[in-house]
Chain A
């Protein structure tokens, strides 16, 4: 018996029991749809984490000042200005595993243009800052090393600031006032979206750190910097760079063997990798739960196939009497089970894809339907059909034709 005839025979007997076939498929439909939705949500979460990793910049270390003990009071990291411009320069010049470095400083303040004003984050950095954060300038230019050395009053606007102050106008070349001082806008930054913590990264004005120290801050912190951003030469040397930075700073800060560091080094990619693996575990868990319903669907197929085999005992006897071999009967029932599973799977994929779209529409979650997941779900449906259809089909094929013909 060729596959086409076998398929037609199977299809006809499924059509003869429409309601039962549809209900059996429903189990598969729900299972496959659940898997597709869950995998789409998991993949969406992963994609978001990856995007965030990319938005932070790759192979970055953060050197955070603080944790000095002064007068019995121990302040937390970031609490004391222990890092200096000289530290940042030394890290950039002396360490072999470091590709670039930028001292940074953050404060906030109002930015005024005409009669518009907007209170935003003021981010000081070196010219390398933008490149390290993989942040492009969409219009105008970055500030130069000369402007940094001269503490020039130049700045770049984030998209959010640009939108609020200028609307559709081109801000490049315009003068804005930051904390009463006039600054020339030299460039506009690319849109970067939300940070992993959910902040709007585009609500920012970037300016040379020297300008910030001399023109915007009090003299108390002159020469000290906030976080020093360090970029390793590649992913493999992040660890080395971390070690080198720690050694260098302990040496420069004259911290002995027993002394406590007055700074700390954080590995950003490591933190995000952690978040990524947490998401992966979550999506595996979701997929696992959904697979259980697929399993239940498979058991439903087996159940109905067993009923069908018993009901059609006489038909099996007739087919055997006119010359059907074991494998003919086996393939007939196996194909029926696979048709049930595959049709259910196909409908489930469509429903699941629709469900994923609705989820992202209503819940605002990113969902990703990958072709791999669709093929996998389809293949898995076929496997479920074969696996759960095999036992009933084998039972049918092993029947004794005489007994089967006598069955009422």
Chain B
């Protein structure tokens, strides 16, 4: 459980905007070993979000190969990618992206609704995921009744509920204050340490990137820097989580 090895070679992605072709990724080679915690940095338009979309199987590369755990997934069909997303990849977004009409627990249950998990099992696993991010007592709250940090923790619970091998977080702390951001990063570190889930994090804040084990930097669709983090940040106060 929780092992993902990403192998990307010559990855290119070209968008068409009207008559103009935009090269968002220009032949990226990247290798991420299982259990790694990678931060992707770069200015907007550098291609980091496109890379995330391809790694998350939300998008297909126009050239190059993408192997996830040795399996070529760049050419999968829409449905094939959907099944891959719900079984092996968890997403955490900047804007939380919770469904506002559903309670915290129902939001966490969402990925399991589509793989045929029975209702009692869904409930049990959703509750376990919620308590692992410290929100066991908020299961019935609607997103609007939760703080930003709590909403993001619900989103993390949703990302881990199907025991993915890989979590992709796109600016997860962009909407949060610094202490809440630290809290969230602490949870990511713990999931990475304890469960060995491979983490890929997009951020433009250097402070946040330093919670990772390795930082890569993008510029104009190319990877321009790749270095390990020497002095890794840890959350100053222990996050209010358990399990």
Contact = CB atoms under 8 A, between A and B. Distances in A.
The binding surface of chain A is classed by DSSP as helix
Nearest to A13: B101
Interface string B81-94: 01101110001010
Contact of A9 (B59, B83, B113, B158): B113
B86 A401 contact: no
Interface in B90-117: 91, 93, 97-99, 101-102, 110-111, 113-116
B97 A321 contact: yes
Interface stretch (A101-109, A255-263, A322-330): A322-330
B58 A324 contact: no
B151 to A, nearest CB: 13
Contact of A321 (B58, B78, B83, B162): B58
Interface string A250-269: 00000000000000000000
Given A318-B99, A401-B58, A405-B97, A323 B86 contact: yes
Contact of A314 (B78, B97, B119, B162): B97
A12 B162 CA distance: 24
B58 A1 contact: no
A402 B97 CA distance: 13
Interface residues of B, number: 27
B113 A402 contact: no
Contact of B115 (A13, A323, A326): A323
A11 to B, nearest CB: 12
A16 interface: yes
Given A16-B101, A319-B110, A320-B82, A2 B116 contact: yes
A323 B79 CA distance: 9
A322 B114 contact: yes
B53 interface: yes
Given A2-B116, A402-B59, A405-B93, A325 B83 contact: yes
A322 B86 contact: yes
A5 interface: yes
B91 to A, nearest CB: 5
A1 B97 CA distance: 21
A326 B82 CA distance: 9
B66 to A, nearest CB: 16
B58 A402 contact: yes
Interface of B: 53, 56, 58-59, 78-79, 82-83, 85-87, 91, 93, 97-99, 101-102, 110-111, 113-116, 119, 158, 162
Given A320-B58, A323-B85, 15 more contacts: A318-B98, A319-B114, A321-B85, A322-B85, A322-B111, A323-B86, A323-B87, A323-B114, A323-B162, A325-B82, A326-B82, A327-B79, A401-B58, A402-B53, A402-B59
